[in-house]
Amino acid sequence: MNEFNSSYPRTATQVVVKQNTLIRQVYAWMGAGLAITAFMALTTLSSPALLNAVLGNRLVFYGLMIGELALVFTLSGAINRLSAATATLIFAVYSALNGITLSVVVLAYTASSITSTFVTTAGMFGAMSIYGYLTRRDLTSWGSFLFMGLIGVVIASVVNIFVGSSAVSWVISGIGVLVFTGLTAYDTWKIKAMAAQGTEGRKPAILGALTLYLDFINLFLMLLRFTGNRR
């Protein structure tokens, strides 16, 4: 049976069971991804040789970034052609690479800022996930609006690499917080809607985990840039 095109559940009870099962799987895989990222970030920070390899050579750093983008596009675009084991491996490798690159960002901020920002991110993410799961509203209209906001943030961030304006960076971060807060609710609602249509299995759970993982990480980074204290 195709994991993305299974039959519609016949009763309300079946709908709830499928929703709860998929949501649990999504958050379990997302939690595993965050744990891998945290482990690799701490490993990189505690290894002078590894940290120097990332910081001392821009080609290595940008190579890691390009590798991460390639893995995300592969997992998102080819999920139907991948086996469940391959999809899981790609997600795990991406989480590990992201931990290495995030160690560079973490190094620029104080430990107290990182801790407080993580707690704030977890609280905001949790609240918006609960809203996305429990709301009876149709959030379809949020998708195009938030996507446009995301594109705007990406373009502005690229432009600001060359401009180097701290004021623009602050504004981008503020808008980014709003965008990824909204995306957390929207993506949770979308996963719930997929489950109601009968979607099940490890591959959709991995894809959902990647989506929410990206929301969490980007929300954390935007909040850190917006409110964090640099060393």
Of 108, 101, 94, 219, nearest in space to 153 by CA: 219
Q: Rounded to 5 degrees, what angle do the CA atoms 6, 9, 11 make?
A: 175
Q: Render pLDDT for 94-104 as a digit per residue (tens, 0 to 9).
A: 999 999 999 88
Q: How far apart are CA 88 and CA 107, in angstroms?
A: 29
Whole-model pTM over 0.85: yes
Angle between the N-to-C axes of helices 166-196 and 140-163, in degrees from 0 to 180, rounded to the nearest 10:
150
Please report the pLDDT score of residue 6 as a whole number.
47
Is 47 a domain residue? Answer: yes
Q: Render pLDDT for 177-225 as a digit per residue (tens, 0 to 9).
A: 999 999 999 999 999 888 877 777 889 999 999 999 999 999 999 999 8
Is 7 a domain residue? Answer: no
Is 133 a domain residue? Answer: yes
3-state secondary structure of 122: helix
Is 1 a domain residue? Answer: no
Number of structural domains the chain divides into: 1
Q: Render pLDDT for 82-136 as a digit per residue (tens, 0 to 9).
A: 999 999 999 999 999 999 999 888 888 888 889 999 999 999 999 999 999 999 8
Q: Render pLDDT for 149-161 as a digit per residue (tens, 0 to 9).
A: 999 998 998 888 7
Q: How far apart are CA 218 and CA 14, in angstroms?
A: 34
Range of the domain at 156: 12-227
Is 3 a domain residue? Answer: no
Is 4 a domain residue? Answer: no
